[in-house]
Amino acid sequence: MTTSTKNCWLIDLGLIAYAPACELQHRAVEARKAGAIPDILFLCEHPPVITLGRNGKQQHLLASEAVLRQKGVALHHTNRGGDITYHGPGQLVGYPILNLAAIRRDIGWYMRMLEEAMIRASADFGVTAVREAGKTGIWVASAPGAKTSAAPEKLAALGVHLSRWVTSHGFAYNVSTDLRYFGLIVPCGLSERKATSLEKLLGRTIALSDVADLLVKHLGAVLNLDMQAVPRVQFLETLQHAERCAPSSPPNQLLATEPPLELARSDA
């Protein structure tokens, strides 16, 4: 990892449907590959949606299409790694669009750093979150004043995609998420484990913005990035300008220092 701090634009997308968020990620990835924009961190919430990753198993979806429609839950297949998960209001979702070639060419390290930032943010609220061997995300067995669970419950999930060392997708941290929706799936394919939320662990209301501020701070620290808040309108103008000015290039033309790389990792 380099010692110099790099700029990373922080873009708050607010509440946004899953499909347009994925499309915006795709556009940002292409612009980042071309060097037309700096590193980006999108933060958002999604309306209720279930997503199936590249390794997703249909049998881990426990609800029929009719039930999903009745409950207003969308269903999307996605190119991130891993199995099945739920996103919804009260869940802080982060999509880092980072050039790992300029940070550290190690996807395993990158995923551990995403976990580390969430572990540190949880600790700021007095919650001890940990990693579990062979699993991704962060897990909590107990919290101050809370009853100890039989098995650690999942507080946050990861699911990432990598293309020519540029990342997309990311993390989902349960702040005030309605945990009943996780009953529609086998979360991440782990039938014996449940999801939890920061509010459930602490027994009080937590503002999503407070968690976002801490996560941004810790992500900047572990990835050595200078997080700079940029208005969504300004970012979109920059992105559109980059797309208009992008030179056409022959298909599959890659820099010698950037080997073809298309990876999906983790269980989101």
Residue pair 13/44 in contact by the 8 Å Cβ criterion: yes
28 DSSP assignment: H
Residue pair 236/31 in contact by the 8 Å Cβ criterion: no
pLDDT of 55 > 50? The answer is yes
* pTM for the predicted model, two decimal places: 0.88
Residue pair 123/179 in contact by the 8 Å Cβ criterion: no
Which helix (H) or strand (E) segment holds residue 27: the answer is: helix 18-33
pLDDT class for 2, splitting at 50, 70, 90?
A: very low
pLDDT class for 134, splitting at 50, 70, 90?
A: confident
pLDDT of 251 > 50? The answer is no
Hey, is 238 helix, strand or coil? helix
Residue pair 92/215 in contact by the 8 Å Cβ criterion: yes
Q: What is the mean pLDDT of the chain?
A: 87
Q: Which residues make beta-bridge pairs with 159?
A: 170
pLDDT class for 248, splitting at 50, 70, 90?
A: low
- In 3D space, the residue among 66, 60, 80, 61 whose CA is nearest the CA of residue 18 turns out to be 80
44 carries an active-site annotation: no
Q: Which CATH architecture has domain 6-245?
A: 2-Layer Sandwich (3.30)
Secondary structure percentages of the chain, helix, strand, coil, to 5: 35, 25, 40
pLDDT of 60 > 80? The answer is no
pLDDT of the residue at 252:
38
Whose tokens are 């946004």? That residue is: 16
Residue pair 116/127 in contact by the 8 Å Cβ criterion: no
Q: From residue 262, how far is each of 128, 169, 170 by CA, in Å?
A: 34, 13, 15
- In 3D space, the residue among 41, 44, 43 whose CA is nearest the CA of residue 6 turns out to be 41
Per-residue pLDDT reduced to its tens digit, 182-235: 989 876 556 667 899 999 999 999 999 999 999 999 999 999 999 999 999 999
Higher pLDDT, residue 247 or 46: 46
pLDDT of the residue at 168:
96
Higher pLDDT, residue 265 or 132: 132
The catalytically annotated residue of 8, 22, 44, 188 is 188
- In 3D space, the residue among 167, 23, 189 whose CA is nearest the CA of residue 104 turns out to be 167
Q: Which two tokens stand for residue 209?
A: 């913005």
Average pLDDT over residues 20-26: 96
Whose tokens are 């999509």? That residue is: 95
d(CA 218, CA 251) in angstroms, rounded, equals 38
Domain boundaries, the chain: 6-245
pLDDT of 263 > 70? The answer is no
d(CA 268, CA 10) in angstroms, rounded, equals 21
